[in-house]
Amino acid sequence: MATAHHHRAGPLTTLAYLFLLLSQNIAALLLLPLVIASAVLSLIWIGLPFVILTGHLLRTLADSQRRTLTHLDHHRPVHSGYRPIPPTGINRRASVIITDPATWKDLLWLITGTVNILLIALPLTLIGHGTYQTLHALGLTGGPAIYGYTPTDTTERLLFLIPATLLIALGTTLATPALRLYTAFNRLLLQPSEKARLTARVAHLATSRANTIDTQAAEIRRIERDLHDGAQARLVALGMNLGMAEQIVEHDPATARAMLAEARETTRTALIELRDLVRGIHPPVLVERGLHGAVHALALTHHLPITVTVTLPGRPADPVESAAYFAIAELLTNTAKHADATHAWVHINHGDDRLVITVTDNGHGGADAAPGSGLAGIRRRIDAFDGTMNITSPTGGPTIVTLEIPCALSSPKTSPSSEKD
Amino acid sequence: MRVVIAEDLALLREGLIKLLQAHDFTVVAAVDNGPDLHKALTHHHPDVAVVDVRLPPTFTDEGLQAAISARAQIPGLPILVLSQHVEQLYARELLSDDTGGVGYLLKDRVFDIGQFIEAVRRVAAGGTAMDPAVISQLLARQDSQGPLGQLTPREREVLSEMAEGRSNSAIAGRLYITEKAVSKHINNIFTKLDLPPSSDDSRRVLAVLAYLNGQ
């Protein structure tokens, strides 16, 4: 599949990419002396800040090259696999940069910059030279004569056009293989090693697992407290009321009756609390109708008009379904609270083994997943399923939040009325 | 009056049987799962059925589905659905065939036995009984564009009472206005919601349905 979709660029696009890659490599060459200087300086302690500076520059430059390579072939993205640089401490930061194997691979890439430039420069030079000759032969430009001779009549000019055209044709033909060779070579250098990738993956999994455990523990504490202070306390009060009513029913039926009425009211309040609690843990409509029905039900009670489109050939696993539902609920709450929108759209579908959810509103934008915000909370919860959240929310709107959660779907469940809206 | 009960928890099922029998209902069948409910409804043609939403074997909305499919076979079969929670989605589905004779209440409404029995009788008579929780959820949606937006606050109040299933005299009593005023408001509501005169009972259902759809 990856080969079938391999990037097929036109000659102009290829040339544009070649120029972009050339400029990145020239920047790399310029960085090289700085790297050498900071390496020398770091032998004495004073060089460490320079190591940090050049380390950052190197990472930025290599990442921009990785992005260009990813652009060239979307199906084989080149990721960066750096160890995170700690925010403080000159020694710690410098030592992370120096001991990171990714830094050394970057340096290798930096040194091979000359080879890269030659590779790119070849087709560009051929085309450039051909163009120059053409222009000169046509008398469109001055400058030094070609091979010491200036054509005088039309026949000579046309004769000079032949090698010029051949040069341009050769350059254009070489551009694509040169680009392919360049891509393959640099991909090899810039792609993090399998070990680095796995190390990064383990670090991410450890963080997301810790977050999941924390979130769940907090959730269980909240449920315990709600039951303890709510329903449990009310049932005790209920028992007390009933006991007293039983004692006085013979000699004071009027008061007993009032107590019984109060007991009934207490039962109702306890039920309401339990109902809210259940809804917070796992909404019954989600159990009964799945994501499809639950999101429709959510849209019905929301005070903005919401368009819901769901294309799911089956049901995701329970935990995924529940996480997706609460994420959508929270996003719609955010929309109502902050976005000043007049309409929202929820799209849910499944493809490539991922559940893809988009929540869009026509509000004023500016949504931000700052730490501690609701959006950051959603990201953390989605993270537990190895999912991702993308927010596009320019000032002035619209806000588009896309959630992707890897999951398989179970076989479809037939539910006659869930088909209609 | 002949009634079918569907409830999977034995304790609640026995309680409902006792409660309805004490109020002169004849319980012709009491079942605890979806397929049996469908059979009982189509076989007995009861005057009213009291049905739990969530039933075995799937423990999803088996009861609701059985009720809706039985009503497709026997139009207007009166069904009162009881649930631990109420969803507008289900209220809309129950009302969607426009024939009336449906109710949708929280289970704890049985605490007020008088009102509960009245609701069962009203549904049996072809009326509606919507839970106040459904109605208040709708009232919380402040933006009512479309025809509902044209209603005056008083007319909205009357419609909300109507949606819960109250008769004109009951609405008059609750809003402290005369019955004549109530029917005047109701006629205004029908006009604004563009419901031309036909049999008044089904127009009430259509008005309630428009209200539930919230547009």
Structure confidence by residue, pLDDT tens digits, A204-229: 888 888 888 988 899 999 999 999 98
Mean pLDDT taken over chain B: 87
B65 touches A: beta carbon within 8 Å? yes
- Give the distance from residue A302's alpha carbon to the nearest chain B alpha carbon, in angstroms: 7
Q: Report pLDDT for A356.
A: 95
Contact list in B for residue A421 (CB cut-off 8 A) is none
Q: What SS3 state is found at A372?
A: coil
Cβ proximity of A403 and A382 under 8 Å:
yes
pLDDT, position A150 = 66
Encoded tokens for A350:
């499944």
Of the candidates B80, B87, B76, B192, the one whose C-alpha atom is nearest the C-alpha of residue B126 is B76
Q: By three-state DSSP, how is residue A280 classified? A: helix
CA distances for A410 relative to A309, A314, A421, B69, B206, angstroms:
19, 5, 22, 26, 38
* DSSP helix/strand/coil, B147: helix
Residue B165 corresponds to which amino acid? G
Short-list A23, A25, A24, A57, CA closest to A38:
A57
Task: Say if B92 is an interface residue toward chain A (CB within 8 Å).
Answer: yes
CB < 8 Å to B87, chain A? 285, 297, 300
Residue among A264, A285, A303 whose CB faces B89 most closely = A285
Alpha-carbon distance A417 to A219, whole Å?
Answer: 33
Question: Coil, strand, or helix at residue A389?
Answer: strand
Residue contact A268–B111, C-beta within 8 A: yes
Give exposure, A196-208, as e/b (b: 16+ Cβ within 10 Å). Answer: beeebeeeeeeeb
Query: Which tens digit of pLDDT belongs to each residue from B160-178?
Result: 888 888 888 889 998 999 9
CB pairs under 8 A between A and B: 59
- Whether the predicted pLDDT of B74 surpasses 50: yes
Percent of chain B with pLDDT over 70: 92
B92/chain A closest Cα distance in angstroms? 10
Q: Please determine, for the modelled complex, whether the ipTM score is greater than 0.90.
A: no
- Start-to-end CA distance of chain A, whole Å, equals 37
Chain A residues within 8 Å of chain B (Cβ atoms)? 264, 267-268, 271, 275, 278-279, 284-285, 287-289, 293, 296-297, 300-305, 415-417
Chain B (5-34) residues lying within 8 Å, Cβ to Cβ, of chain A: none
Q: How far apart are CA A79 and CA A187, in angstroms?
A: 10
Distance (Å, whole) CA A361 – CA A80: 33
Most distant CA pair in chain A, distance = 133
The answer for residues whose C-beta is within 8 angstroms of residue A363's C-beta and 6 or more apart is: A335, A338, A339, A340, A341, A342, A397, A398, A399
Beta-ladder partners of A399: A361
Of B212, B118, B133, the closest CA to residue B167 belongs to B118
Non-local (6+) Cβ contacts of B206 within 8 A are: B98, B193, B195
Backbone angles phi, psi at B87, to 5 degrees: -130, 135
Over the stretch B118-136, which tens digit does the pLDDT of each residue have? 999 999 998 889 898 888 7
Question: Is B145 a residue whose pLDDT tops 60?
Answer: no
The answer to whether B139 contacts chain A (CB < 8 Å) is: no
Give dist(CA A292, CA A308) in Å, integer. Answer: 9
Closest residue in B to A263 (Cα–Cα):
B111
- Rounded Cα gap, residues A329 and A142, in angstroms: 70
Do B61 and A415 count as a contact with CB atoms less than 8 A apart? yes
Distance CA B102, CA B36 (A): 20
- CA-wise closest residue to A140 among A163, A118, A157: A157
Interface test with A, best of B61, B92, B131 (most A CBs within 10 A): B61
Average pLDDT over residues B60-74: 93
The answer to whether the CB atoms of A301 and B141 lie below 8 A apart is yes
Using an 8 Å CB-CB cutoff, list chain A residues near B211: none
Residue A360 confidence (pLDDT): 95
Q: Contact A267/B84, CB-based, under 8 Å?
A: no
**How do beta strands A344-351 and A354-361 pair?**
antiparallel
Please tell me the distance in Å from A287's CA to the nearest CA on chain B: 6
Q: CA-CA distance, A235 to B203, in Å (whole number)?
A: 44
pTM here? 0.72
Pick from B53, B84, B142: which is nearest to A303 by CB? B142
Say yes or no: B55 contacts chain A, CB-CB below 8 A. Answer: no
Q: What is the pLDDT of residue A9?
A: 59
Neighbours of A188 (CB within 10 A): 10
CA A42 to chain centre: 36
Selecting from A271, A278, A284 the residue whose C-beta is nearest the C-beta of B108 gives: A271
Q: Which residues of chain A have pLDDT under 50?
A: 1-7, 414-421
User: Do the bridges between strand B128-130 and strand A399-406 make them parallel or antiparallel, or are there none, so unpaired?
Assistant: unpaired
Cα B150 to Cα A46, B52, B65, B162, B188, distances in angstroms: 77, 36, 35, 17, 10
Residue to test with chain B: of A238, A268, A278, A288, most B Cβ within 10 A: A288
Q: Chain A closest CA to B180's CA: distance in Å?
A: 33
